[in-house]
A and B are shown apart, each in its own frame.
Chain A
Amino acid sequence: MALPYSPTPISPSDEVWSVTELISTAKQVVDDGFMPLWVRGEIGQCKVWPSGHWYFNLRDRKSQVRCCMWKRDAERAGSPPKDGAEVFVLARPGIYEAKGEFQLNVYRLIPTAAMGRQQQELERVKAALHQDGLFDPTRKRRIPQFASTIAVVTSTAGAVLRDIVTVSRKRWPCATLLVLDARVQGGGAAGDLSHALALVNRLPKVDLCILGRGGGAREDLAAFNSETVCRALARVRVPTISAVGHETDVSLTDMIADLRAATPSAAAELALADRREVLRQLNDLAARLAGGLTGRTRLAAERLTRTADRLESGASAVLERHREMADRLAAQLDALSPLRILDRGYAVPVAPDGRILKRRSDFVSGSSFRLRVTDGDVRARVE
């Protein structure tokens, strides 16, 4: 139901809300109106339920608010707070609809006494960054598969750069590392790091940024928890990897970066493709390329054979036609042959010198000649 911005209704018949409508509308207003926030107060009436949830009040001199902390968050907080303890809670205000109560849903609870000044500052920064959505998982960008130019923000004095160079040389020597030197601990470290990170955005061509330092005492990592460094890191235009300290240390920059690496060497491994892997990929492609062409030529060869077959059968048809024609012509020639005349009973007189005797005057009395008949010669004499 919409909020009653219209003039006050005069009678119940104008507009009536159910309690549920009222509470759920109020809940919506509260949900929309508050982000998670840190609240300081004193614990009262803390009760641990068998379910593992904690319920308590948080109060100061003037007001108090109901709080509940779900089992999962309560377990992380350790032992339940004692009544009267001064605490910070990270909570989101809400309405408990069944009772119509305004309450805080508490995610974290830290006794103020347990927190040193630095820790308080860390919590403050974390809350501020959280409020601005810088821990939002949807902000995370993908690390490019083939980074070519990598900006490395670290101290050139430490072993970090050497580790990164060693790994890079082994994995992907095609890369270029652009090193931005910065102090990584002590006064001035936060300023140096923020400045170096800002310079990364001014480099004309860069694919990825690694922010790194080796392990150290918790206090030495303070610069990597500073708000300015975190915000500078969040502003870097290219994907970022934070590699600060050893595996057990997590800094705020680790949470802001697109990817966290346990160590600087691990950062280089995450940042760069592996040359051997790519060479293997190239070998596979080479084999498939050759196979593809062989297959393709085999197809072409088959097509050629089929064409040749067709050609050959065409040619033999032509030959057959010519053979038939030749037979026919031969038969005609045969019919015209003089030998065929002899078949019919005619005979040809031939003189001994081979001359054919055609007239009476060719026949001299007493002379001999040959008479050629169809199957040979017959000797004869003129009377």
Chain B
Amino acid sequence: MTTSIADDLTRLEEIVRKLEADEVELDAALALFEEGVGRLRAARDRLTKATLKVQAVLEEAGDLRLADLDG
């Protein structure tokens, strides 16, 4: 889930760089802007709404199982 925050940041950097460098036509610039806004919103949401998950790794008969722990 958070790797996509890393992806978002990388993609946002790329979008901003393109817009700043005037590399794209207006239509494409608008589309990039729209994508950027979407990614910004999603990343902010993820960061502000997330709750830490704490799970215990249990081994039963050689198999691994996860069980929620009270953080």
B: residues with CB less than 8 A from A are 1-3, 5-6, 9, 12-13, 15-16, 18-20, 22, 24, 26, 29-30, 33, 36-37, 40, 43-44, 46-48, 50-57, 59, 64, 66, 69, 71
Chain B residue at smallest Cβ distance from A284 = B16
Contacts of A278 in B (CB 8 A): 5, 9, 43, 47
Contacts of A177 in B (CB 8 A): 52-55, 71
Contacts of B5 in A (CB 8 A): 146, 174, 278
Write out, one digit per residue, whether chain A residues 21-39 have a CB within 8 A of any chain B CB (1) or not (0): 0000000000000000000
Complexed CA–CA distance, A165 and B69 (Å):
11
Between-chain CB contacts (< 8 Å), 26 pairs: A145-B6, A146-B6, A168-B52, A174-B2, A174-B47, A175-B2, A176-B54, A177-B53, A177-B71, A178-B57, A179-B69, A203-B57, A203-B64, A278-B47, A279-B44, A279-B47, A282-B47, A285-B12, A289-B16, A289-B19, A289-B36, A292-B33, A293-B33, A296-B19, A296-B26, A296-B29
Write the nearest CB–CB distance from A249 to chain B, whole angstroms.
26
Contacts of A292 in B (CB 8 A): 15-16, 18-20, 29, 33
A: residues with CB less than 8 A from B are 145-148, 151, 156, 165, 168-169, 172-181, 199, 202-203, 275, 278-279, 281-282, 285-286, 288-289, 291-293, 295-297, 299-300
Chain B residue at smallest Cβ distance from A287 = B16
Complexed CA–CA distance, A203 and B59 (Å):
11
Contacts of A175 in B (CB 8 A): 2, 52-53
Chain B residue at smallest Cβ distance from A145 = B6
Complexed CA–CA distance, A148 and B53 (Å):
10
Evaluate contact between A179 and B54: CB separation under 8 angstroms. yes
Question: Which of A145, A165, A282, A300 touches B54 (beta carbons < 8 Å)?
Answer: A165
Chain B residue at smallest Cβ distance from A200 = B57
Chain A residue at smallest Cβ distance from B58 = A181
Complexed CA–CA distance, A311 and B12 (Å):
38
Complexed CA–CA distance, A176 and B36 (Å):
27
Evaluate contact between A165 and B71: CB separation under 8 angstroms. yes
Contacts of B56 in A (CB 8 A): 156, 178-181
Write the nearest CB–CB distance from A293 to chain B, whole angstroms.
5
Contacts of B46 in A (CB 8 A): 174
Evaluate contact between B2 and A295: CB separation under 8 angstroms. no
